[in-house]
Amino acid sequence: MGLFKKFVSQTRKPEGFLGKMMVNGMNGGHARMADWGLSHLSTIVPEEIVELGCGGGRNAGELMRKYPCSKVTAIDYSEVSVGKAWDYNREMIDAGRCIVRQGDVSKLDLPDETYDLATAFETIYFWPGLEKCFAQVARVLKPGGTFMIVNESDGKDEASLKFEEIIEGMKCHTIEEIESALRSAGFSKISSDHHRSKPWIVVIAKK
């Protein structure tokens, strides 16, 4: 495997030295897209939030900034990502507003009906079965809770589809595929938006 393929494959589960390099670039590299996604959350005031696939932890921090009375549980299945997210949000962890944990979204070790908001930025490409994982998200959300997905790829853009061929286990989903899986997992009131000039998408669903 060439060095480039080894490096970009770290987007799936960052490990080792290359994984640390990848995670170090995630927070800044995805910031504009993440903020665009967050701008769609304008009608809720969540108290308990779970950030799934938290990467370097930047978005967990932005959620706490946007909702200053909230508490955030940040989950990632990469030990490297968990370490970076912990360092990034150390102040909020010490203040009791943030928990960073290693975990698998396909079998979330979280209590039922606990969270008002679940977020997933640039991560569902690697989830092992959307319906199965979305059902886990639905389980931990309170009735009426919100689930927001933000992706850099709309499942049709050429650049992301090329990476799909390079990175094992990566699948770029269209809005239609995401919405269908959400409905099958028990979500309703689904809305979506596509950036006017980029392949960025956001999908928001209610439990």
Residue 39 is part of a domain; what is its CATH number?
3.40.50.150
Number of domains within the chain: 1
CB 98 within 8 A of CB 89: yes
Ordered alpha helix ranges (H), 39-124: 58-66, 79-88, 90-94
CB 199 within 8 A of CB 154: yes
How many H helices and E strands in the chain?
Answer: 9, 7
**Helix/strand/coil percentages in the chain, nearest 5:** 45, 25, 35
Q: Average pLDDT for consecutive 10-residue bins of the chain (207 residues)?
A: 44 45 58 94 95 94 97 93 92 97 95 98 93 98 98 88 74 96 96 96 97
Amino acid at 204: I
Q: Note the pLDDT of residue 159.
A: 81
- Alpha-carbon span 199 to 14, nearest angstrom: 24
Q: Note the pLDDT of residue 23.
A: 55
- Alpha-carbon span 152 to 125, nearest angstrom: 10
Q: Note the pLDDT of residue 29.
A: 58
Q: Note the pLDDT of residue 46.
A: 98
Q: Note the pLDDT of residue 25.
A: 54
Q: Note the pLDDT of residue 91.
A: 96
Q: Kindly give, in sequence order, each residue whose CB lies less than 8 Å from that of residue 78, ignoring residues fewer than 6 positions away.
A: 13, 14, 15, 19, 23, 102
- Where in the sequence is the domain holding 94, given as residue range(s)? 3-206
